[in-house]
Amino acid sequence: MIPPAVARLSRVWFPTKKRPASGVENGHAKLIRAGFLRPSHAGIFHMLPLGRRVQNKLEGLVAKHMENMLAASRVSLSAVSSQSLWDKSGRLENTASELFKFSDRKDVGYLLAPTHEEEITTLVAQTVKTAKDLPLRLFQITPKYRDEFRPRHGLLRGREFVMKDLYTFDSSIESALETYSNVRQVYSRIFKEMKLPVLAARASSGNMGGNLSHEYHLPTPLGEDRVVSCDSCDYVANEEVAESVLSDKAVSDTTFQVWRGITKDRTRLVNVWYPKQTQSLDGGDLREYTDLDINIAEVKSAVPDLDAGVEDALPLWLAAAAVGGTAVELVNIVDSRLPPSFSENLVGTKPIISSWPVQLKLRKEAPVSIPIRNMSSSSSGKPLNLIRIYTGDKCPSCTSGRLKAERAMELGHTFYLGTRYSETLGATIPAPNGEKQDMPMQMGCYGIGISRIIGAVAELMVDEKGLNWPVAIAPYSCVIVTGTGVDEQDAEEAYRQINQVGGVDAKYLDVILDDRQKTLPWKLMDADLVGFPIIITLGREWLSTKRLEVQCRRLGVKQAVEMAELPQIIAKLHAKL
């Protein structure tokens, strides 16, 4: 039997770059300098051989769980979708600004799909006709497209990205919820296998539809989301849906402040009244608040069409009020920490808008009474908590826990869609008991950002020397680096020794020999930059004592070992990485 060829770095193209003069780099900059990828256009990247190798391993890991744990079949849907199909589902208008839209020579509208709910539902509607064909699980790992207004953070917020999406179809709500639970367990296993400290947080479904969803977040200061978790129980939630116990009270009703927003149609001015200071009920320190502490998600629960991106709302509202016939309104939203007397005395005693007389002069018609609406509780009667949740707040789910609020990056999302798409797009099956009317299938969709995970791991595990990959997705888990005067046969023997590791310990074993015609210090710096989890060096120590040096920067390991010890040492390190 012919032994497998030795994997050699001289046969792999990865154009590394010199260290920048400043020496300050984030994970994305190191991905570029280490030769994993190169930018082609704003928010779009070419994946080079090392980057492609990481992506292939990640895709293989995810696909393995989809197929083996969920019995899902893999498909590959076209990147081109129909605008008319998205219009039929009701998503074309809501997501228009993020879509790459185009027309063919017959002026038929198409788009580059950012996701495939419409296409997969239509496909299943055309092929599945009875409940006997269900449950059905279909997944794909394909490029997606989103016209980001401001692409940033490299792979974390790009215009082209690779995503795994799983679509499930069930015949009943009970079966669909069981599927949802099973997928959540599989997601936990996927992230555990990569040894990533991911938080599974209850989340909002947004415009995706449905009423049950969870996000899978990696805590990092670069994250665009904010996740709240309890130190005592399993409560974890995205800030948008998180709750807390209102344990603080306003120092007095005179220490109020106001933040102003406006609705998207510019007709309603939203005054958010909140305390400037609060005192904890246990007599702790005073808390000071500013506009940056406003819980925008809570405000949106009271005013869903709020345009949260407007910094100075008053001039826009005054301009709308100046147009004759335009119906304008004032909405006062009062934080529940302020006493009831605050809301009762709000009109006429508080400076609702300092330029009120100017507003009246601007109107072309005679001054009219402007409707004013006060709100201090949600539509369900729950007191409004207009201040963001912070570390140390009480947990709403247990009596002893305290919450931790931290920035995090979303890596995956699970949605129970119900009949959101199946009903609209005709994915139905005959109803049981001989009922004449067909019933829509119960659906779920489940995404994992493949390219986003690559970018997130790079940012999370980078240090001053370079990248640090988990062995599960590292381009190579182990590199053998040789110095001047070392016999190539000795390096190949080390290669063979390492490849003797078997069983579970060899699950991600992937060795390569750095045989490039470079100096040993250059190759070691390059190995640190690329982020090989384990580095084996045959240098001066080998020439003098016939011992190899084993390094693992992430675990702080650096030791000289005999050649025969390599399999055991490598197996132990792999188990920890």
pLDDT in tens, 23-33: 678 999 999 99
State how far the Cα of 159 lies from the Cα of 47, in Å rounded to an integer: 14
Asked if pLDDT for residue 561 goes beyond 70, the answer is: yes
So what's the pLDDT on residue 137? 98
State how far the Cα of 321 lies from the Cα of 269, in Å rounded to an integer: 10
So what's the pLDDT on residue 251? 59
Of 107 and 431, which is predicted with more confidence? 107
Residue 63 CB burial class (10 angstroms; 0-12, 13-18, ≥19):
middle
- Name the band, by pLDDT with cuts 50, 70 and 90, for residue 93: confident
Of 258 and 207, which is predicted with more confidence? 258
Torsion of Cα atoms, 435 then 440 then 441 then 443, to 10°: -150
So what's the pLDDT on residue 17? 82
Segment 485-494 mean pLDDT: 92
Asked if pLDDT for residue 152 goes beyond 90, the answer is: no
Segment 481-502 mean pLDDT: 90
So what's the pLDDT on residue 250? 60
So what's the pLDDT on residue 33? 93
**Which amino acid, 94?**
N
Name, in order, each residue with C-beta under 8 angstroms of 377's C-beta and a sequence gap of 6 or more. 336, 383, 384
So what's the pLDDT on residue 149? 84
pLDDT per residue as tens digits for the range 101-145? 999 999 999 999 999 999 999 999 999 989 999 999 999 999 999
Output Rg (C-alpha) for the chain, integer angstroms.
Answer: 29
Of 515 and 19, which is predicted with more confidence? 515
DSSP state letter for 139: E
So what's the pLDDT on residue 253? 55
pLDDT per residue as tens digits for the range 160-217? 999 999 999 999 999 999 999 999 999 999 999 999 999 999 988 766 666 789 999 9
* Averaged pLDDT score across all residues of the chain: 87
Percent of the chain residues past pLDDT 90, beyond the cut: 57
Q: What are the DSSP calls for 419-463, one per residue?
A: TTTHHHHT-EEPPGGG-SS-EEPEEEEEEEEHHHHHHHHHHHH--
Top-confidence range, 234-243, 249-258, 268-277, 514-523: 514-523
So what's the pLDDT on residue 439? 93
- Name the band, by pLDDT with cuts 50, 70 and 90, for residue 366: very low
User: 281 by DSSP, 3-state: which?
Assistant: coil
So what's the pLDDT on residue 120? 97
Residue 544 CB burial class (10 angstroms; 0-12, 13-18, ≥19):
exposed
State how far the Cα of 71 lies from the Cα of 164, in Å rounded to an integer: 15
Kind plus residue range of the DSSP H or E element containing 412: strand 403-418
- Whether the ω angle into residue 135 lies within 30 degrees of 0, i.e. cis, is yes
User: Which of 159-168, 234-243, 343-352 is least confident?
Assistant: 343-352
Q: Judge whether 490 and 545 are in contact, CB under 8 Å.
A: no
Asked if pLDDT for residue 367 goes beyond 90, the answer is: no
Where do we find the tokens 């240098």?
539
Measured distance between the N- and C-terminal CA atoms of the chain, rounded to whole angstroms: 32
45: nearest Cα among 460, 457, 454: 454
State how far the Cα of 25 lies from the Cα of 401, in Å rounded to an integer: 38
Kind plus residue range of the DSSP H or E element containing 117: helix 117-127
User: Which of 237-241, 247-251, 333-337 is least confident?
Assistant: 247-251
Asked if pLDDT for residue 325 goes beyond 60, the answer is: no
Percent of the chain residues past pLDDT 70, beyond the cut: 88
Distances (CA, A) of 51 to 25, 191, 434, 496: 18, 19, 55, 26
Segment 490-510 mean pLDDT: 83
Residue 493 CB burial class (10 angstroms; 0-12, 13-18, ≥19):
middle
**Which amino acid, 493?**
E
| Structural domains for the chain | 55-242+404-457 (3.30.930.10), 248-388 (no CATH), 476-576 (3.40.50.800)
